[in-house]
Amino acid sequence: MHLYYAMTAHGLGHVTRNVAVLQALRTLDPGLHFTLATGADPAWLEHQLGFPVDVVRGEYEPGTLHRNCFELDLAATDRAYREHAATAAARRDTERQRLLARRVTAVVADTPSLPIGVGAELGLPTVGIGNFTWDWILEPLLADPVARRALTAIRRDYAAGALFLRLPFGPPDSPFRRTEAAPLVSRRARLTRAQVHARLGIPAAARERIVLVCPGGWSADDWPAIEVRGGRGLCFVLVGDLPVRCDAPAIALPHALPHGLGFADLVGAADVVLAKPGYGIASECATHRVPMVAIERPAFPETPLLLAQFRLLGPLVELSLADFFAGRWEAAVRAALDAPPRWADLAEAPERRIAERMLSALG
């Protein structure tokens, strides 16, 4: 089987969850040949996967455009999808030729619609995976009539797909011919808590509670300086060159983490995570049973469902953007730390279960 696996890179959670699924697919069927179509960096992907892959570099859709790390830019998103609609025929022809030239025998997508639609036109088995489809995200956001033509085409391509494996933190349905619930899948820590603390230079006898702060993979150059007051008994681990000064001890890390240290390792070693809520960080918090302080993310359709569904799994506290930028973090962090540690049981080996269902659906 030559499996064409298309992944949007709009939001790191799309790629990171599929790394686990791709590894499980390769374990189940070592003879599988993969082509990955994505905007993610090929070298980073190979490092995460642990085996060489053929990568077609590029994005399928504009996604949602943002004014900053937290807020959407609706006018720019409308403009992007007007342009997207104008190039639809050319992109469709390119995708058709790509699948034919590579002799692809099956298509999986998280969750670009074009490879699903073109794959179905060519008679290939097609499976989607994700916690949402782009039409659901875009429906309340696009106002321009031409941009909404792109939305109609996206929905039509999804509707040609045979199966959508619906991950948690999203709506219950999709346009695919069949939608099935799939278990929560995420990256897992490879290092122990003690190993992570040692690599960060935290003494073994330290009593501070570790607060991992990760607003997302965005530049913070235009942020005002954030002064975090208080925090006795806490140690902040700040990821992403953030303009943050703390009264409490703090360790600053770049987006490109030191060699041998993975982001899931940081989550597993934390006592609480303060983050912009998205599938990737929410799934890793739930998997490692680490409470989350969710920074406000205005007007993004995924957020209310994600927060509501995370609360069914474990402790979550919300933090407004005003309080985040004012450095008023302590009350929310302590509320998360003091919350009863009630965690729902998650499915074992979720990536293997998903991979098995994919292979079954793809024949």
pTM score of the predicted model: 0.94
Q: What is the DSSP letter of 108?
A: E
What's the one-letter identity of residue 241?
D
Helix, strand, coil shares of the chain as percentages rounded to 5? 40, 20, 40
State how far the Cα of 81 lies from the Cα of 267, in Å rounded to an integer. 35
Lookup: tokens for 133: 């489809």
State how far the Cα of 263 lies from the Cα of 215, in Å rounded to an integer. 13
Q: What's phi and psi for 110, nearest 5 deg?
A: -135, 95
Specify the pLDDT at position 220: 72
Kindly state the percentage of the chain with pLDDT values over 70.
Answer: 99
What's the one-letter identity of residue 76?
A
Specify the pLDDT at position 259: 76
Specify the pLDDT at position 221: 66
The region that residue 47 occupies, defined by phi over 0 for left and psi between -120 and 50 for alpha, beta otherwise, is alpha
User: Does 219 score more than 80 pLDDT?
Assistant: no
User: Does 60 score more than 90 pLDDT?
Assistant: yes
State how far the Cα of 116 lies from the Cα of 124, in Å rounded to an integer. 9
Given a contact cutoff of 8 angstroms between Cβ atoms, the answer to whether 143 and 149 are in contact is: no
Q: Residue 118 belongs to what H/E stretch?
A: helix 114-121
Per-residue confidence band for 167, with pLDDT thresholds at 50, 70 and 90: very high
Given a contact cutoff of 8 angstroms between Cβ atoms, the answer to whether 361 and 125 are in contact is: yes
Q: Per residue in 244-299, pLDDT tens? A: 999 999 999 998 888 789 999 999 999 999 999 999 999 999 999 999 999 999 98
Residues whose CB falls within 8 Å of the CB of residue 97, separated by 6 or more in sequence, listed in order? none
**Cα dihedral sign, 167-173-175-179:** positive
What's the one-letter identity of residue 297?
R
Could you tell me the domains of the chain? 2-183+349-362 (3.40.50.2000), 193-338 (3.40.50.2000)
Given a contact cutoff of 8 angstroms between Cβ atoms, the answer to whether 305 and 170 are in contact is: yes
Lookup: tokens for 26: 């390769």
What's the one-letter identity of residue 173?
D
Of the candidates 277, 268, 273, 302, the residue with the CA atom closest to the CA atom of residue 194: 268
